[in-house]
Each structure stands twice: as structure tokens, then as C-alpha cells.
Amino acid sequence: MEVLETACIYGADAVYLGLRGESSLRASARNFSLEEIGRAVAYAHGKGVKVYLALNTYPHDSRYGELPGLIRAARDAGVDAVIVSDIGVLAMVRRTAPGLPVHLSTQANAVSSHAVEAWRGLGVSRVILARELSCAEIAEIRRATDCELEVFVHGSVCVSISGRCLISDYLARRGANQGHCTQPCRWDYAMVERTREGQYMPVEEEDGFTFLYNSRDLCLLPVFGEVMALGLDGLKIEGRNKAALYVATVVSVYRQARDAYLEDPQGFAVQQGWTEEIARVSNRGYFTGFFTGAPGHDGINYDFKGYEQTHHLAARVVDVKDGRVTLEARNPLVEGMELEWLSSAGPRRCFTLQGAVSEGTALTHIRPSQVFSLQTPFVPVPGELLRKPFSEGDRVVPGRTR
Ligand code: SF4
């Protein structure tokens, strides 16, 4: 819920979410219960933000029994659309809740206008295109159909075609298409001779080439003007397993870029500050996916040392009253520390942490989860975030966080 609120505060005009269980492709994430979906919809709609529910696994017959109840509950909760991949799920949504719009997941791998039109004929109102498409191909599809189209602009991608993959089923007995991927494509592989247990020999094409299938993360910011010129109906940021700081940063950057483009398409240029911000959140190195042509070696991060990230979450604004700001710490904080306030409406602002008070006691050290108040040289809104750069002695190790 907190991540959803963060997305709404920092400029998303729609969010997608999953239910607990195996109905979405992030089954292990802290997803929403049916009751929480109602709260999420009420909050998002109050901010003018749409909510799309992902029902995009490929259920076997044994799982179909629960679907009508989930679909009716989603409709009654007021979700704006459901996202499906499987044609059987699509048919069931159409039968159970005929008025509920259906979006086709990228997982269904639509790569042509013919596929888009065929899905539309089956009742789909929006197609989230497969990620394996170039800018020219997307433009061609856009010209050939007036069905709503959406593309991914940012986030993790699979080395297999839009996530259709059995590596996790095979190595971990956890199926990617049932939402249980353990991401074995990111594991560090070595070779072991049968009789020499524990002696790991590197599998290397060249120095350091051991992360054979570890795709870089998609980032279409460098070509954002071309993305916007396509006239799409939705730009999707992958974020269902991401923390609030990631969501705030990435959503805010793309929102600013979108607004800047719409204000002056001819004069649009990617700002250095946006690129720097995007580099500050957890990532595996960026590339532009298939948008600028099929990726080669540059699409894989062979020399993976862990997630790249320069900042972590310091605190979240809980309340603002009578000039005092109440915050909840998310990492250890110490008086005198430099913090950055991530304003949802303007540039970020740096300030020095001082004058923190909790239950009438002045604090020099603040522990995670502790609620405290202080006077700030700015007026934030509840839900906004403060961050701090990694520094010596931080408990969180850079490169190993999300
Ligand atoms: S193992 Fe990797 S490529 Fe396969 S589904 Fe999972 S994340 Fe995607």
C-alpha cells in the first residue's frame, strides 16, 4: 500500500498491482488481499489515479475455480481494468464481468498489429506490447490499429522472450509463469568436476563473463522523445517488487520527462538531472532493450557485482502540523547527517538533520521505524520521502540492496 501511495504521490496516473496467491507474476511479493484492493482503489481514485489488477499468470485447470470470485471481487472493488495473458482467463473475465475492461499483458507477446487486432476482437481494450519490438515496429503497429497500446519504458527485463521461461522451473522447481520465478538467470554460475566437490571453476567466455543471462535493466529515458512521438496510450514502469524510494525516483523522472515533452515536443531534450536521478536507484546497468535494435553483448551485464544504487531511504513523512514535520525513520539516522527531501512538486532539497524530537525527548540517534518530529526548512506533504547517500558505516551495503 505504501508503494502504491508513493507512485500516486510522485506522478503516476495509473498503478498496477497483484493479489496474494498465484494470480499475478510476482507471487512472492507482498501483494494485496481482496479487502486491501478496495482501500487501494479508494485511495488511488481519490488522487485521480487508475488501478489495474494483474491476473496475468497461466493458470492450469486446478486454479480456474477461484477465478470467478476474484474477478467479481475486483469489479466490485472498482478496479479500472484487469491485465491478463491467458486466453482462458480473458474468456472468463468477459463472461464473469462483461463491463470490466481487459488489458493484454506483455506476457502474451503481441508483436504485430495482426495480433493486436485479433486480441481486440476477443474483447481486449488495451494491448501491452511485447518488449521485443523496435521503435519502427511499434510505430508500424500504431499506424495499423487504433486499439489502445502500452509499452514498458523502464525496469527489469527477462533474457527470455517477455518472461516465457523454464529456467526457474528447472533449477528451483518454481515456475516463472505461475509467478514464482527465482531469477536464476541472475545467478553466478561456475563449473564443478564431479569428484572435486567444492572446487568451483569459472565459466568464462572472457574475463569476468560468468553472468551468462543477466539482462541489464530497460531504460528508455535516453530515447524518450521518440517514445513520446509514438502516441501511445500508456507507458509502463516495472515496479511491483520495488521499494518506495525506487518507485518515487523513477516515476517522478518519467513524469517530469512526459510533462516536458507535452509542453514543448519540438524543444524536448533529456535533462542531465533526470539521467543522474535514474542512476541513483537500484539497477543492473541500463540499456534500451529492443527499442533501438536487437541488443547484443551490451544487453547482458556479465560483470555483475550487485545492484548499483547510490542512495537509500532515510524517512517517510507521516504528518505535517503547525510547522512541524512528523517522520518515520527507515534507516539509522544521526544528528548532523545530510538528508535530501524528494519533493513531489519541485526540485529535491538538501538539509542537515537536527532538532529531532520523539515523545518530548531530543534525539541524536534515530533507529529504523522510530517516529520523530522536527522543523524543516520546507513544507513536505505526507507520504513524501527523504533519502540519504550511502556512506561509510551504513548497515546497508551498496550494490546489494533493492
Ligand atoms: S529466470 Fe530470468 S529470464 Fe527466466 S523468467 Fe525468471 S527473470 Fe525471466
Helix (H) or strand (E) holding 340: strand 338-342
399: pLDDT strictly greater than 80: no
**Is 400 part of any domain?**
no
* Mean pLDDT computed over 31-50: 94
Output 159 or 230, whichever has higher pLDDT.
230
Looking at the fold, whether 131 and 155 belong to one and the same domain comes out as yes
CA 92 – ligand 1 centroid, Å = 27
Looking at residue 401, its pLDDT comes to: 34
What whole-number percentage of the chain has pLDDT above 90?
65
Q: Which residues line ligand 1 (CB under 6 A)?
A: 158-160, 163, 165, 167-168, 176, 181, 183-185
Please state, in angstroms and as integers, the Cα–Cα distance from residue 50 to each residue in 43, 75, 128, 209, following that order. Answer: 10, 13, 16, 43
pLDDT tens digits along 285-319: 999 999 998 887 778 777 766 667 788 899 999 99
Looking at the fold, whether 345 and 281 belong to one and the same domain comes out as no
Output 305 or 137, whichever has higher pLDDT.
137
Looking at the fold, whether 242 and 207 belong to one and the same domain comes out as no
Looking at the fold, whether 250 and 334 belong to one and the same domain comes out as no
- How many whole angstroms separate alpha carbon 376 and alpha carbon 353? 9
Mutate to test the pocket of ligand 1, among 106, 131, 152, 158 (most ligand atoms within 8 A of CB): 158
**Residues paired with 216 in a beta bridge:** none
| Range of weakest confidence among 74-78, 153-157, 204-208, 370-374 | 204-208
**Is 23 part of any domain?**
yes
Residue 380 sits in a domain whose CATH number is: 2.40.30.10
Q: How many domains does the chain have?
A: 3
CA 168 – ligand 1 centroid, Å = 7
Looking at residue 191, its pLDDT comes to: 83
What whole-number percentage of the chain has pLDDT above 70?
90
Looking at the fold, whether 338 and 208 belong to one and the same domain comes out as no
**Please, are residues 386 and 311 in contact by the beta-carbon 8 Å criterion?**
no
Residue 36 sits in a domain whose CATH number is: 3.20.20.70
Looking at the fold, whether 99 and 29 belong to one and the same domain comes out as yes
3-state helix, strand, coil in the chain (%, to 5): 30, 25, 45
Looking at residue 215, its pLDDT comes to: 86
391: pLDDT strictly greater than 80: no
Looking at the fold, whether 114 and 183 belong to one and the same domain comes out as no
**Is 302 part of any domain?**
no
Q: What is the DSSP pairing of strand 81-84 with strand 102-104?
A: parallel
Mutate to test the pocket of ligand 1, among 56, 107, 160, 162 (most ligand atoms within 8 A of CB): 160
* Mean pLDDT computed over 228-253: 94
Query: Which domain covers residue 195, as residue numbers?
Result: 161-212
Q: What is the DSSP string of 287-332?
A: E-TTTTS---GGGB-TT--S-B-SEEEEEEEEEEETTEEEEEESS-
**Is 173 part of any domain?**
yes
Looking at residue 398, its pLDDT comes to: 39
- How many whole angstroms separate alpha carbon 241 and alpha carbon 247? 10
Looking at the fold, whether 96 and 132 belong to one and the same domain comes out as yes
Looking at residue 400, its pLDDT comes to: 37
Indicate the DSSP class of residue 216. P
